[in-house]
Amino acid sequence: MLTINEKIVFFKQKLLIQNGSYADTIRDEVYDYFFERIGDSSDIENFSFLNTLVSNKEIEEKIDLIVSKIIMHQHHAGIEDLINEYIYMEKIK
């Protein structure tokens, strides 16, 4: 079982992967949100959603989900709203 710190490291590494696609830009935005914009990236509370994910595969799937939702422009909300809905599971009002 992964510790929360191991999950955060894996999450960060996966967001930094570049493969020459438009998704790279989106992953960069998600990275900025978690590791630059929301303040102290060492605050484990910011990564509480990782507690529900038990494997690296689930973390990758969560990243893929948010990236695809942003690319599809599911709604006109900003990246913060999409992250809240699909990562923290808080419905947008």
Cα–Cα distance between 15 and 64 in angstroms, integer?
Answer: 10
The residue with greater pLDDT, 85 or 62, is: 62
pTM recorded for the entire structure? 0.82
Calculate the average pLDDT of the chain: 85
Query: What span, in angstroms and rounded, lies between the C-alpha atoms of 37 and 91?
Result: 21
Instruction: State what percent of residues in the chain have pLDDT above 90.
Output: 53
Q: What is the pLDDT of residues 7-50, one digit of tens each?
A: 999 999 999 999 999 899 999 999 998 988 765 556 788 899 99
Q: What's the CA gap between 5 and 8, in Å, rounded?
A: 5
Domain range annotation of the chain: 4-86
pLDDT value at residue 28: 94
- Confidence band of 74 (pLDDT split at 50, 70, 90): low
Report whether 92 contacts 84 (CB < 8 A): yes
Cα 56-32-79 angle, rounded to 5 deg: 90
* pLDDT of 78: 77
